[in-house]
Amino acid sequence: MMQWLLIMLGGALGAAARLWAAGAVQRLAGGAFPMGTLAVNISGAALLGVLAGAFAGAGETALSAVWAFFAIGLLGSYTTVSAFTLDTLGLLKARRLGLAVLNMAASFALSLLAAAGGYALGAAL
């Protein structure tokens, strides 16, 4: 039961953080490219990598509460495949194929690099 509560609390905080961060980045960046969603997904991947790297090798019980709150709850609702997909669809519908492809490639490649870098950083802690 406690794990469910941690996930719900983390989820609520992560969703609010995503709304704020994505909006702030998009306002600063401007333009048609969904920079807010991209920034949120990359930063979330990096943070999840740090968490996974920091706790690599820890037992399941040592991770359960931390993982439930941060990885499943907070970062699970902070990062978003649904917004990324909708942003890409919007670019395709607007016939902005180049930006749509850039969004897909950048989201995948940069999130993967951020997760790997975060993992290495977390493992070094």
Binding residues: 76, 79
Among 110, 47, 107, 112, which residue's Cα sits nearest to residue 74?
A: 47
The DSSP annotation for the chain comes to: -HHHHHHHHHHHHHHHHHHHHHHHHHHHH-SSS-HHHHHHHHHHHHHHHHHHHHTTT--HHHHHHHIIIIIIIIHHHHS-HHHHHHHHHHHHHTT-HHHHHHHHHHHHHHHHHHHHHHHHHHHH-
Tokens 């509460």, located at residue: 65
Binding residues for Na(+): 76, 79
CA 67 to chain CA centroid, Å, is 15
